[in-house]
Copies of this chain bind each other. A is one copy, B any other.
Amino acid sequence: MDAISLSIGDELVLGQTVDTNSAWLSAQLAAVGIGVAAHLTVGDDQSAIEQAIRQAAPRCDILLISGGLGPTEDDLTRQALAAVMGQPLELNEEWLTELENFFALRTRNMPPSNRIQAMIPRGARMIFNTAGTAAGIEATLPIVESVSVSPRPRVPASSSSVRIFVVPGVPKEMKIMFQRDVLPYLRDAAGGAVILSRTLHTFGLGESAIAEKIGDLMRRGHNPSVGTTVSNGVVSLRVNARFKSLREATERLDETVAACRAALGSLIYGQDDQALQQVVGAMLKSSTGASVATAESCTGGLLAKMLTDIPGSSTYFSFGWVTYANRAKEELLGVSPELLQQHGAVSKPVVLAMATGARVRAASTFALSISGIAGPDGGTPAKPVGTVWIALAGPDGAEARTFIFPGDREFIRDRSAKMALTLLRYKLLGEEVPF
């Protein structure tokens, strides 16, 4: 059973608003086992909407249309649907009464333009709106040959109609209506198939290196499917299991996730909504009394900011220094002027001294320090932009590593802070960093 999401709105095709409805609806559909074949977006233009409905209808079993149900002249979804159905718009008395009550309750007269919001195509069913003035519409559109515009319709010959649901474009109204009046029908119609998903996050290796380690699990057609995505340096594996029963989906998902974990080991730092700083924070919390301090140059506070993104981080984080100037490194962390003079601020001896100085002053278990060249200026042939030294001081002494991060200033700062967290994570795991 396949669905298509059709979003209507000039603000969408003009790029003034990001369409979040399609993603939300798709996730809802996936959760009941309905695949989404495509998202389609057109502006507030009746012929464009008609064409989009004609195009989409033969390619799906469920067509979800959002937007274009407002009271103004540029809201044309109901007119377009009526035209495609070959039916006139009719006044729905029940919804008109609701509308009039809505305005009466607010001691306002209903503007005449709102009357259109109670019109639906003849033969369609009105969907109640508990959060706004636009009624939704449910309709069944027969698929006849002349409507099918594709040389390869996706729908098997046995399917002779598409179920259409029209919901408001305002996310809040849309979500309430969808969950109350559309989802129950879809859950029944889907007849059982279940899609379960899990996402596993890694940081440190590139997408292709991760994919190679996963190997055969990523082959096309494998169910559960395994795919990679990259976001801000985090390479994630998305595992999607699609099965008839919840039990089978759960078991097979767990099995594939276990296989991914076996292949990647500690490269996986967390799953689903877990952020790196959250995982590291939880590890610090669970290792009783452990704490970390930060001493940052090029990241300018980003590492401390990440650590304190997490509520309750005061348990393990108390002290941070942003020593952006050499003088600050000397005065606040006790880095010797000779060291700075001899090796430069972006060097192994200096990050080691920063981390050690921070650890002593904070009286913390660990301290992380970062010094690098975030650019765009300041690079040299020996130390190009992107060169970053990171040190970790702990009970067993201090160690430092250097990295060359590609990308712009924001990218380099972000990767530096994440790499610092990663070094601490491996230290807490008691494992060698595998890259």
Q: Please indicate the chain B residues that have their CB under 8 angstroms from the CB of A11 in the complex.
A: 227, 229, 238
A347 within 8 A of partner (CB): no
Output the nearest chain B residue to A72 by Cβ-Cβ distance.
Answer: B211
Picked from B12, B301, B325, the residue with its CB within 8 Å of the CB of A23 is B12
Nearest CB on B from A142, distance (A):
17
User: Would you call A343 an interface residue if the criterion is a C-beta within 8 Å of the partner chain's C-beta atoms?
Assistant: no
Name A73's contact: one of B71, B218, B294 (CB within 8 Å).
Answer: B218
Q: B70 and A228: CB pair below 8 A?
A: yes
Contact code string A308-350 (vs B, CB < 8 Å = 1, else 0) = 1101111001111111110110011000000000000000000
A427 within 8 Å of B by Cβ? Answer: no
Contact, CB under 8 Å: B29 / A24 = no
Which of these, B16, B23, B73, B308, contacts A15 with CB under 8 Å?
B23
The answer for the CA separation of A328 and B308 in the assembled complex, in Å, is: 15
Contact with B along A36-64 (1 / 0, CB 8 A): 11111111100110011011000000000
Task: Decide: A30 near B14, CB < 8 A? Known: A319-B323, A321-B320, A322-B308.
Answer: yes
Choose among B55, B170, B304 the residue that contacts A150 (Cβ–Cβ < 8 A).
B55
Cβ 8 A contact of A302, one of B20, B47, B208, B301: B301
- A411 contacts across to B, CB distance below 8 A: 172
A111 touches B212 (CB 8 A): yes
Give the number of times this chain occurs in the complex, counting copies: 2
Known: A74-B227, A207-B70, A321-B320. A22 touches B15 (CB 8 A): yes
- A: which residues have CB within 8 A of B? 7, 9-20, 22-30, 35-44, 47-48, 51-52, 54-55, 70-74, 102, 105-106, 111, 113-114, 131, 149-152, 170, 172, 197, 199, 206-209, 211-212, 218-220, 225, 227-230, 238, 240, 294, 296, 298-305, 307-309, 311-314, 317-325, 327-328, 331-332, 361-362, 374-377, 404, 406-411
CB pair B322–A294 under 8 Å, yes or no, is: yes
Q: What are 14 sample pairs from A and B whose C-beta atoms fall under 8 A apart? A: A12-B23, A15-B26, A36-B43, A37-B48, A38-B41, A71-B208, A113-B212, A172-B411, A300-B301, A301-B322, A302-B305, A309-B410, A314-B325, A321-B321
- In the docked arrangement, what's the CA distance between A296 and B48, Å? 48
Q: Is the CB of A18 within 8 A of B18?
A: yes
Q: Are A131 and B16 in contact (CB under 8 A)?
A: no
Nearest CB to that of A39 among chain B residues? B41
Taking the closest CB of chain B, its distance from the CB of A284, in whole angstroms, is 13
Contact B328 A318 (CB under 8 A): yes
A377 (CB) vs chain B CBs: closest residue: B311
